[in-house]
Amino acid sequence: MPEPTRKRRRPLVLLLAVAASTAIALGAAELLLRAMAPEPRVLGAIGYADENGTPVENLTEAAARGLVVPLTGELPRRRFMFAPGKRFYITYSDNDVLKRDWLDEQGRVVNEINSAGIRDREELVAKKPAGQRRIVCLGDSFTFGWGIPVELGWVRLLEDELRRNGTDVRTVNCGAAGTVCVDEYVLGLKQRFYRFEPDAVVLTICLNDLIPSSGLGFLVPRRSTGSRVLDLLLGPFQRGPLDLDPERDWVGELLALPKDEAEAGGLAHPIDKPFEAMWSQGVPQKSLREGKAWCDARGIPFMVILWPFLQGLGEGRHYPFQKIHDLAAADCAEAGIPFLDVLPALRSTAQEDLWVTPADPHPNPLAQRLVLPSIVAFVRAQTGW
């Protein structure tokens, strides 16, 4: 009888031995990964530096150095703008790996602010010459040309195209000049940017002007399980941080989100992402009508361009925010406002190919070139230029 007992125990002993060996191997692999491989991170982290290349850590330091100044006047909320006449850098890490050819050898892009506080040429501050036509371009960082040289942004490229037929046109880049939301773009036009004597106005909207959206447009590392080995094994099977569930109505949920939940979840902020300025509160709709009325009273064409979040783009991917595009298009049609959605020009291109860096998904020069033909045709149709 003892012999059969020993035979029955052998598989159990073998199983325990295999389990122990596997545990030891996994433990060794975990230690090796932690020792040899750096923690996963997103490449191209953004930073700032003054004109001498000295890093600037935050808004408080930028204000202390005179790089930003508070806006004054009748404003819906407290705002800062880049200081007139200043020069600074947006900086990016890892350009030795990313090789963004529009950045300098130190991974930087320069930003020069003229005496009127906008990222454009000083000559535009002077009275408009006879015969010259000007297009005032309103918006935030997508208009500013965040992370790229100003001459590679859609605002300057539009000017270049319109001038090819001999027309004396200048586009005026009023993006990110102390304006963050649609009501602020229109107020900026009335209070500050009218000085450029516009013959046409283009107002650019991004989706974060319309829906609470902190984090929805930015790439972050996958959530860790705590084990580097397990993270590595599960990586190919996990949904990426930008791959939102196609079965959910993301726009509907964001439009229905109460203010306290939006602010508690970091999707809205009283200053940076004010809930009261969102589409659900009717402010963008009202502000666009005010902008049109102001321009109509002066015989100036008023146009609206909508940019998508640069996520869910590329073959086989689901773009989760189409609903807000449709709502904006329908509302502008009702208000008689010429409207252009540039999503179709970007939809088939992989999102990764459109970003300034993986850590900064503003539109890079490729994205700017892809949308340019539709913008040029749109502006020409409204102006006849």
CATH code, 377: 3.40.50.1110
Asked if the structure places residue 100 within a domain, the reply is no
Asked if the structure places residue 226 within a domain, the reply is no
The helix (H) or strand (E) run that includes residue 97 is helix 95-98
Asked if the structure places residue 275 within a domain, the reply is yes
Whole-number Å distance between alpha carbons of 364 and 369: 9
Give residue 226's pLDDT band: very low, low, confident or very high (50, 70, 90).
Answer: low
**Per-residue pLDDT for 295 more than 90?**
yes
The structure tokens 């904006």 sit at 328
Return the sign of the alpha-carbon dihedral for residues 141, 145, 150, 156: negative
Asked if the structure places residue 348 within a domain, the reply is yes
In one letter, which amino acid is 190? K
Whole-number Å distance between alpha carbons of 50 and 330: 43
Whole-number Å distance between alpha carbons of 381 and 385: 8
What domain count does the chain have? 1
* pTM assigned to the model: 0.85
Q: Cα 252 to chain center, whole Å? A: 21
Could you give the maximum distance between any two Cα atoms of the chain, in Å?
A: 112
Asked if the structure places residue 235 within a domain, the reply is no
Asked if the structure places residue 273 within a domain, the reply is yes
Give residue 147's pLDDT band: very low, low, confident or very high (50, 70, 90).
Answer: very high
pLDDT tens digits, 329-371: 999 999 999 999 999 999 999 999 999 999 999 999 999 999 9
Q: Cα 302 to chain center, whole Å? A: 23
- Contact between residue 111 and residue 100 where contact means Cβ atoms under 8 Å apart: no
Paired residues of 201 in beta bridges = 136, 302
In one letter, which amino acid is 383? T
Give residue 316's pLDDT band: very low, low, confident or very high (50, 70, 90).
Answer: very high
Whole-number Å distance between alpha carbons of 179 and 191: 12
Q: What is the pLDDT of residue 221?
A: 40
Quote the domain boundaries for residue 321.
128-216+255-383
Asked if the structure places residue 355 within a domain, the reply is yes
What is the token pair recorded at 65?
């150095």
- Percent of the chain topping pLDDT 70: 82
Q: What is the pLDDT of residue 267?
A: 85
Give residue 319's pLDDT band: very low, low, confident or very high (50, 70, 90).
Answer: very high
pLDDT tens digits, 21-63: 655 665 665 566 456 655 567 899 999 999 999 999 987 899 8
Asked if the structure places residue 318 within a domain, the reply is yes
Report the C-alpha dihedral over residues 265, 268, 270, 271, rounded to 10 degrees: 120
| First-last CA distance in the chain | 102
Q: What is the pLDDT of residue 273?
A: 85
